[in-house]
Chains A and B, each alone.
Chain A
């Protein structure tokens, strides 16, 4: 899953990275820094896995007050 600061939430890390990119000469707008969390989930179907991962996000992986998240799946 990709967890990132919610739109409108101050992201000092993103601002610092953006400032550094501009110093390097890149013309960039807003920069936001989030994190990618890879989790192996043992599930038969994608909806089963999705339900598990949604719970993980709600319970621990993201703080809904300040972060949003997206879930992506890769089957194996």
Chain B
């Protein structure tokens, strides 16, 4: 027998844990955008051993965790909370890493590849066009294949790299979710965002949370975040 969600479950806003590391600085923008998409964001400090009860999704925000010391995201990737994030991802829970969050997920080996310093040695800070390469991920369910999104980037170390076998495998399995339509930072294959094999963990360098209102130049990031929150709400409704 299928259990039907109760009316109160329908009303519960999906709980999205926004992990805060020392040096995170897009955490509040991310929380604001998630709230605008109907989620209930909750901040989780990096030294927490567990995610809050009832967490339906996890977001790793942008910033400069640990001052980008050693390698961007490296020190954050071994924070206590990352074991909980790894466990949550292992159950199929949606995990989104934006910019530094992407770097952290790669360093934690939750996503394939690594982010290198930009080829042009410049911090790049502008709107870019990002093409949706795969609509089979939970993050891109509201996009059309080939659709171009306008999203801002702001990073010094955003050149994605994977060895040739990794790159070919990712492309074949539809794990390359987004590509830039131009060379933005020396990223291999102009990769802007990749997912894990299961498709429930996404990392991308562009910032969807800064593009959720036409007044800010673009609302295209809302397509991605709304799909993320929708996936979280499915989890909120799922029988325990």
Residues in A lying within 8 Å of B, measured CB to CB:
9-10, 12-13, 15-16, 59-61, 63, 65-66
Contacts and interface: CB of A to CB of B under 8 A. Distances in A.
Contacts of A13: 117, 121
Given A10-B116, A60-B70, A65 B121 contact: no
B78 interface: yes
Interface residues of B, number: 19
Nearest to A37: B70
Top-8 shortest CB links A-B: A65-B114, A12-B121, A66-B114, A12-B117, A63-B114, A16-B121, A12-B119, A60-B78
Given A60-B78, A63-B107, A12 B118 contact: yes
Contacts of B107: 63
Interface of B: 70-71, 74-75, 78, 107, 113-114, 116-121, 159, 161-163, 186
A65 B166 CA distance: 11
A63 B120 contact: no
A60 B107 CA distance: 9
A65 B161 contact: yes
B21 to A, nearest CB: 15
A50 B114 CA distance: 26
B106 to A, nearest CB: 8
A61 B69 CA distance: 11
A20 to B, nearest CB: 11
A9 B119 CA distance: 11
A42 to B, nearest CB: 21
Contact of A66 (B116, B118, B119): B116
B163 A65 contact: yes
Contacts of A61: 70
A69 to B, nearest CB: 12
B78 A59 contact: yes
B120 A60 contact: no
A12 B161 CA distance: 14
B75 A60 contact: yes
Given A60-B74, A63-B74, A10 B114 contact: no
16 contacts: A10-B116, A10-B161, A12-B116, A12-B117, A12-B121, A13-B121, A15-B121, A60-B74, A60-B75, A63-B74, A63-B107, A63-B114, A65-B114, A65-B161, A66-B114, A66-B116
A9 B120 contact: no
Contacts of B114: 63, 65-66
